[in-house]
Structure 1
Amino acid sequence: MSLKETLLQPKFTEIYVEEGIRTQADSILSHFPNAHIIMIQDYRDVFDRPRQSYSLQHKSQKLILARKKDGFLYPGSPVCQSFGNPYFMYSSCVMNCVYDCSYCFLKGMYPGGNLAVFVNLEDYFDAVEKELQKHSLYLCVSYDADLLSLESILGYGRAWSEFVRKHDNLTIEIRTKGTFDTSWQKMTVSDRTILAFTLSPETVIAKEEKGTPSLSARLAMLQKAMDLGFPVRICFDPVLMCPDQKQAYQDLVEKIATAIDLQKVRDFSLGSFRLSKVYMARMRRQYPDSAVLQYPYVCEKGFYHLPARIETEMTDSIVEALAEHGIGKEKIFFWRES
């Protein structure tokens, strides 16, 4: 088989499994009966090896199953929103995403495009329980992956939602662009398990969010989540520069309002594109033709972002569109460079 043929095989035709976790990995492996299983000592030998190409690897992702040994919780990043919660952290039980959005910070964060899954969720839960002994916690569990797009394989959404039910001082957010499937119905409904849906204009989805569901599919998914009783958050984040910018996002709000009852949405998140200086440098090298990445952003405090005036105009137009449907600013959370 040639190098090109090897690189362009379907996803997960090869699965790397750390020694000592085969039993824990069996339920995941059962979904891939024809995959070639390769035993390894440490996931980092594959995931972190040098001179990888994220763009090429993502076309034929390999799955890596491993045990997380430390670093189960991280403080919330300054480019992420806390939604008014004093104790905000995130957790990464999966690293990398099955989708291929041009602007995704994971392309700059990780050395390659393969997907790593940690099978020892109980250790994550232990770390959270220790934190909860000190204070309440707002935890984002799917910043470094789209967990719900993998729910039928992993069941991690169900596991996290069941864990939340047992802890009154824990609230989690699970963010997704994925499509609904029956595995979601196994999740435990709670007002402290927030399902957050990233929505973009159709032109942005087509050009910048490769492999993701259409806007109509996402809206159908969002409605089903509300029907199940989950509190839902709509995320216009990141808001991207695009042709007819203001009109595109106002049209987006109108399509959302036509498909669902905006008054039943828990809250809304708005934030323009922002990215760390280090990640941007890596991504610009790998994607020299990306209009999103090559735009002349402002770099301040170690982060690239749009000039404040443009950023404000972009988000204000969405606020105005939401206001026409009775959504006040008290339900809208912003990320803006201050």
Structure 2
Amino acid sequence: MSNYTHIYIEKAAKPYALTDVVTSKFPHATIVEIDDYMEVFARGRQNFSVQKHAPKLIVAVKKRPFLYPGSEVTHHFGHLHFYYASSALNCLYNCEYCFLQGMFPSGNAVLFVNQDDYFAEVRRTLDGHPLYLSISYESDLLAFEPIVPLASRWIAFAAETDGLTLELRTKSANFAPLRGLTPSNRTVLAWTLSPDEVVKRHEPGTPSLQARLACARKAAEAGWPVRICFDPVLHIDNWRQHYRDCIRRTFSEIPLARIRDVSIGVFRIPKDYLKRMRKHRSESVIAHYPYENRNGILTYPDETTRKLTEFVYESVAEYMPEEKIFTT
């Protein structure tokens, strides 16, 4: 957990109980009162990469919209009504390939404390149709759980809300907040898994592959639906060996019968996001790879994409039925 030295708090956020929860975790932090979180988060001349070394925390009240249609570059897993909700902006981790550094102007983290407003919007949406909702699209809520219990509150809400299914995607090894919750089929816990070489070189600050596998195994054995995500697959040196070992370890650690499904996707990112990434990551091999532009999305050339996807798919298919494997 980052040792935040400064916490910016919107005036409107001060009355919320979750604000007190956040500030209680950092009794020595300097508190700065602001009118609007965008004053800090969206101010000019910020450097995402530099700020990630000493990020600040911003506590705010989210305004509409509370739900967004799912991105075209993400898996929808066959759901017609796929949305995401941003209870937090930015992540505790600092993965080299993360699209957030191209999406946001700031490396600081924002926590929205008005969860009841999100829940009310979900209920209104459910009046029209079922909802598949990703709640950890622009952050890692399970990693943030020691600071503010957003993930556990979402899970409790889903357990009592007909028509709602959540996906909580994470790289965290933090099983503690899940231990006290009753497993529910209405929340899918999705772990992003990477070979050790990728974790070491491109996912600084994240738990090791072994730690993530141990956490996912605990969740599966407790009765939670578990999704495995090999996404993004990166074209690194000796990639076949690294991903073969990662996949073998994954399916030897986690009971196959407990795995709901598997997603596979190569690195892809909107053109404008990558442009911003390259500006602040001059040393990044991933950022400066010669990608191809496919309708505004930059990704590997077709032949490289085919090789990566087919290899990982075929390796996964040795353990999982094909109807449980999703690719982009």
The TM-score normalised by the length of structure 2 is 0.97
- Paired residues for 1:282-301 under 5 Å: 282-301=276-295
Q: Aligned residue for 2:323?
A: 330
Structure 2: distance between partners of 1:98 and 1:238 = 18
Question: Among the aligned pairs, what percent are the same residue?
Answer: 44
Secondary structure (helix, strand or coil) at the match of 1:103 reads coil
**RMSD of equivalent CA atoms:** 1.1
Structure 2: distance between partners of 1:333 and 1:172 = 17
Secondary structure (helix, strand or coil) at the match of 2:172 reads coil
The offset of 1:269, in angstroms, is 0.4
The offset of 1:255, in angstroms, is 1.1
Secondary structure (helix, strand or coil) at the match of 1:197 reads strand
> Which of the numbers 7, 23, 29 marks the counterpart of 1:15?
7
Per-residue deviation, residues 146-188 of structure 1 (Å, max 9, x unmatched)? 0000112211111111111122211010000011242222334
- Paired residues for 1:45-60 under 5 Å: 45-60=39-54
Per-residue deviation, residues 311-338 of structure 1 (Å, max 9, x unmatched)? 121121112222223x121000111xxx
> Which of the numbers 60, 63, 78 marks the counterpart of 1:66?
60
Secondary structure (helix, strand or coil) at the match of 1:168 reads coil
Structure 1: distance between partners of 2:76 and 2:316 = 21
The residue type paired with residue 321 of structure 2 is G
Instruction: Assess if the C-alpha contact under 8 Å between 1:11 and 1:59 holds in 2.
Output: no
The residue type paired with residue 160 of structure 1 is W
Moved over 6 A (4+): none
Secondary structure (helix, strand or coil) at the match of 2:191 reads strand
Extract unaligned runs of 5+ from structure 2.
none
> Which of the numbers 36, 60, 67 marks the counterpart of 1:42?
36
Secondary structure (helix, strand or coil) at the match of 2:128 reads coil
Q: Aligned residue for 1:151?
A: 145
Q: Aligned residue for 2:69?
A: 75
Secondary structure (helix, strand or coil) at the match of 2:31 reads strand
The residue type paired with residue 23 of structure 1 is P
- Paired residues for 1:16-31 under 5 Å: 16-24=8-16, 25-31=19-25
Secondary structure (helix, strand or coil) at the match of 1:131 reads helix
* Count of equivalent residues: 325
The residue type paired with residue 313 of structure 1 is K
The residue type paired with residue 22 of structure 1 is K
The residue type paired with residue 269 of structure 1 is S
The offset of 1:11, in angstroms, is 3.5
Structure 1: distance between partners of 2:321 and 2:302 = 22
The reply on whether 1:201 has 2:185 as its aligned counterpart is no
- Paired residues for 1:1-338 under 5 Å: 11-24=3-16, 25-325=19-319, 327-335=320-328
The TM-score normalised by the length of structure 1 is 0.94
The offset of 1:90, in angstroms, is 0.4
Deviates more, 1:257-266 or 1:123-132: 257-266
Structure 2: distance between partners of 1:74 and 1:323 = 32
Secondary structure (helix, strand or coil) at the match of 2:86 reads coil
Per-residue deviation, residues 95-124 of structure 1 (Å, max 9, x unmatched)? 000100000000000001000000000001
Extract unaligned runs of 5+ from structure 1.
1-9
Structure 1: distance between partners of 2:174 and 2:294 = 39
Per-residue deviation, residues 42-96 of structure 1 (Å, max 9, x unmatched)? 1000001011010111101100000011111101110011000000000101000
Secondary structure (helix, strand or coil) at the match of 1:84 reads coil
Structure 2: distance between partners of 1:93 and 1:180 = 18
The residue type paired with residue 163 of structure 1 is F
Secondary structure (helix, strand or coil) at the match of 1:230 reads coil
The offset of 1:23, in angstroms, is 3.1
The residue type paired with residue 330 of structure 1 is E
The residue type paired with residue 259 of structure 1 is E
Instruction: Assess if the C-alpha contact under 8 Å between 1:15 and 1:36 holds in 2.
Output: yes
Structure 1: distance between partners of 2:292 and 2:3 = 37
Instruction: Assess if the C-alpha contact under 8 Å between 2:220 and 2:255 holds in 1.
Output: no
